[in-house]
Amino acid sequence: MELSDRLDAVRAGVSAAAVEAGRDPAEITTIVVTKFHPASLVRELVALGVRDFGENRHQEAQAKAAELSDLDLRWHFVGQLQTNKARQVRQYAHAVHSVDRASLATALGGEGELDVFIQLNLTDDPGRGGAQPETIEALTEHVLATPGLRLRGLMAVAPLEADPRRAFATVREHSQRVRALAPEASDLSMGMSGDYREAILEGATHLRIGSAITGNRPARG
């Protein structure tokens, strides 16, 4: 299969899942995660109508954003982020999906609006990234009080060992706690190549899809 075939297949799958959920496919943003892939692949995807791209490492994202600065793209930062890189990420990112602590939110603040999602950790392993659910209210209030951040909602990765549908239902439930403090922060960034249907059925508004569209990732050099 070629890139355009894989993209078409995912677009069809997203539409089918939206119909199954009784939702309008137009309210779902598909972010193509291009980590490990060259800027040339991003250009090919732009020619096929993609505008939202995801990356999980600052150095790689920064280099691609610079190389593709002639294009009108939206870069979504989806990986774990060190506080000391936050200011640089802000310079090219449209959204950061991985805000999991107050110090990172503070560091991301600044002039102009940056979209942010609070990442939830659905495991007991702090190394997986994301905030533990009990910290949601405090973190939501902190983001709301930080100038230059626009809170969009919650982000999560379904744990490998879990039933994705149940994991995403849990995120949707926690999202009510965010919306109690910030009614407009109702977006849900969840669903990847293997589980985007389940995510759409549970209300995902932002899918982060890599390999199902890009093909296998080249080994990291």
Residues making contact with ligand PLP (CB under 6 A)? 33, 35, 56, 78-79, 157, 192-194, 208-212
Helix (H, G, I), strand (E, B) or coil at 154: strand
- Kindly tell me which of 148 and 194 has the beta carbon lying closer to ligand PLP: 194
Quote the CA–CA distance of 49 and 113 in Å, as a whole number.
Answer: 25
In the complex with ligand PLP, the residue whose CB is nearer, 61 or 209, is 209
Residue nearest to ligand PLP as judged by C-beta position: 210
In whole angstroms, the minimum distance from the beta carbon of 107 to ligand PLP comes to 19
Residue whose CB is less far from ligand PLP, 31 or 68: 31
Rounded to the nearest 10 degrees, the angle between the axes of helix 3-21 and helix 39-47 is: 60
Closest to 7 measured CA to CA, from 73, 39, 52, 58: 52
131 close to 101: Cβ distance less than 8 angstroms? yes
Please answer whether residues 72 and 49 qualify as being in contact, where contact means their C-beta atoms are separated by less than 8 angstroms.
Answer: no
First to last CA, the chain: 25
Angle at 47 between CA 116 and CA 93, to 5 degrees: 20
Give whichever of 43 and 128 is closer to ligand PLP, judged by the CB atom.
128
| Residue 109 vs 130, nearer CB to ligand PLP | 130
Least Å distance, CB 215 to ligand PLP, is: 10
Tell me the closest approach of the beta carbon of residue 34 to ligand PLP, in angstroms: 9
Give the DSSP per-residue string, 54-67. Answer: EES-HHHHHHHHHH
Shortest spacing between CB 55 and ligand PLP, in angstroms: 9
Smallest separation, CB 36 to ligand PLP (Å)? 9
